[in-house]
Amino acid sequence: MSLQSTSSIGDATVLAQIKVISGKCIEERRRKERKTQEQLASDVGIGVRWLREIESGNPKSSIEDHLRCASGVGLPASYFLIPLMFMDHKMAFPRQLLLDDIAALEQHCIRCIGDYYVDSIASQLRPAIARPPSDDDR
């Protein structure tokens, strides 16, 4: 299922919430970078009016436009994907997480995924230890 197509009202609601969070993050980072809306819109190839719609979380805005604007202000894709994971699991997303050091959060997530797979692969490579036969086996 693509992020653009939604199969139910719940999915549409989650996507709309993600767009609101995304728009606020883009606006906050743009201001922090001291870029005007005109500069960012020009950098990513959209109109200023559409950038205002994205920053306001317009549900008609596309995911691609959000990601292009995020890239234009130096936000990684994880700012979008982490809240989506929370909401997909019906968990409230604390927006403060995105306002903190997103790079550190991203690195932590990558390490957790790596650790999970290293442990999984290691357990597959370890030989099963044969236990000595017991009296019941004889």
pLDDT at residue number 54: 97
Taking the complete model, does pTM exceed 0.75, yes or no? no
Which domain does 119 fall in, by range?
A: 9-125
Q: How many domains does the chain have?
A: 1
List, for residues 49-73, the tens digit of each pLDDT value.
999 999 999 999 998 999 999 999 9
For the four alpha carbons of 74, 110, 104 and 83, in that order, the dihedral sign comes to positive
The answer to whether residue 13 is domain-embedded is yes
The answer to whether residue 14 is domain-embedded is yes
Q: What is the CATH number of the domain that holds 82?
A: 1.10.260.40
Q: At residue 25, what is the residue type?
A: C
List, for residues 11-31, the tens digit of each pLDDT value.
567 788 889 988 998 999 999
H runs (alpha helix) in the chain: 9-32, 37-44, 48-55, 63-72, 78-88, 96-99, 102-125
